[in-house]
């Protein structure tokens, strides 16, 4: 499976400009003929315009589904449309959308862990469920940014049946980039799966976002990593690696869930 991660520099509070930019970058990513294209967190408005957030947010994903769903169908590509500020009724969610090669929206995920140091929990509603989906026969899951700091949330997705690949979309600041790679490698190693992290870049307010999007294998080895500026990172996943490691070190068979109490 070939992945293209779009490390996008969006403009804070200008959704139409960001939609046009995302559409252009998706077209560029298709030059590598990927199987899956991934966008970062809240690419429609940036992270995050507190003023006019409800007005700027997508209306129950209608714009994403209409515009990016049609691109997925046009190009015949699986598209993880990052996440967007998404309005449902009176509430705003940080929602990721996943489209298959036919342009159908096959999964939605609302960010469960909201980043309180920046007040995200005061403007967005918390999601309350994990999301698992299938792309080209591979079992996949989704995290949004701060979610990666909560290993029990990832294990909730993998305990019943392991994942082949976990996608992480983020707006992670440059000052803590070492955490993003370390946490991703840990989630990949302990769950014996590939992990693809698509981060943003650029500046919003006083925050500089770090780029550094990456793909790591089930051993925690980084296969490829982006720099700090806007770019498209493309990498290939060989899923025989997953089968090999689970045969040699079968952590799922050796788990003791009856002992894991809080």
pLDDT per residue rounded down to tens, the chain (262 residues): 999 999 999 999 999 999 999 999 999 999 999 999 999 999 999 999 999 999 999 999 999 999 999 999 999 999 999 999 999 999 999 999 999 999 999 999 999 999 999 999 999 999 999 999 999 999 999 999 999 999 999 999 999 999 999 999 999 999 999 999 999 999 999 999 999 999 999 999 899 999 999 999 999 999 999 999 999 999 999 999 999 999 999 999 999 999 998 8
pTM over 0.95: yes
Active-site residue list: 41, 111, 145
CATH of domain 2-251: 3.60.110.10
Contact between 128 and 112 (Cβ < 8 Å)? yes
d(CA 245, CA 218): 8
Determine the distance from the C-alpha atom of residue 100 to the mean position of all C-alpha atoms in its chain, rounded to a whole number. Answer: 15
* Residue found under tokens 């515009």: 67
Q: Phi, psi at residue 222, to the nearest 5°?
A: -75, 120
Peptide bond into 155 cis (omega under 30): no
Q: Phi, psi at residue 261, to the nearest 5°?
A: -120, 150
Contact between 81 and 97 (Cβ < 8 Å)? yes
Q: 254: burial class by Cβ within 10 Å (0-12, 13-18, 19+)? A: exposed
* Tokens coding 34: 């990927």
* Residue found under tokens 């720099």: 227
d(CA 252, CA 262): 20
Contact between 226 and 198 (Cβ < 8 Å)? no
Helix (H, G, I), strand (E, B), or coil: what is residue 215? strand
What's the per-residue H, E or C state across 67-136?
HHHHHHHHHCCEEEEEEEEEEECCEEEEEEEEECCCCCEEEEEECCCCCHHHCHHHHCCCCCCCCEEEEC
Beta bridge partners of 94: 85
Residue 262 has a pLDDT of 82
- ∠ CA 152-157-163 to the nearest 5 degrees? 120
Determine the distance from the C-alpha atom of residue 232 to the mean position of all C-alpha atoms in its chain, rounded to a whole number. Answer: 15
Contact between 63 and 74 (Cβ < 8 Å)? no
């Amino acid at each position: 499976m070939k992945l293209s991660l779009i490390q996008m520099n969006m403009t804070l509070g200008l959704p139409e400009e960001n939609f046009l930019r995302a559409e252009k970058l998706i077209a560029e990513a298709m030059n590598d003929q990927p199987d899956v294209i991934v966008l970062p967190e809240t690419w429609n408005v940036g992270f995050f315009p507190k003023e006019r957030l409800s007005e700027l947010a997508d209306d129950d994903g209608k714009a994403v589904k209409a515009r990016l769903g049609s691109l997925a169908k046009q190009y015949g590509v699986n598209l993880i449309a990052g996440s967007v500020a998404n309005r449902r009724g009176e509430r705003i969610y940080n929602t990721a959308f996943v489209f298959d090669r036919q342009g159908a929206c096959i999964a939605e995920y609302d960010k469960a862990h909201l980043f309180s140091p920046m007040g995200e929990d005061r403007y967005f509603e918390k999601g309350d469920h994990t999301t698992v989906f299938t792309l080209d026969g591979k079992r996949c899951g989704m995290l949004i940014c701060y979610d990666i700091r909560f290993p029990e949330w990832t294990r909730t997705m993998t305990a019943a049946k392991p994942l082949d690949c976990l996608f992480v979309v983020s707006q992670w600041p440059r000052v803590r980039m070492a955490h993003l790679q370390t946490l991703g490698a840990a989630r990949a190693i302990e769950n014996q799966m590939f992990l693809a992290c698509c981060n943003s870049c650029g500046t919003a307010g006083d925050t500089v976002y770090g780029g550094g999007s990456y793909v790591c294998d089930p051993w925690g080895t980084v296969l490829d990593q982006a720099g700090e500026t806007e770019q498209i990172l493309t990498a290939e996943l060989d899923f025989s690696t997953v089968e090999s490691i689970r045969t040699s070190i079968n952590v799922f068979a050796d788990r003791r869930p009856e002992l894991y109490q809080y």
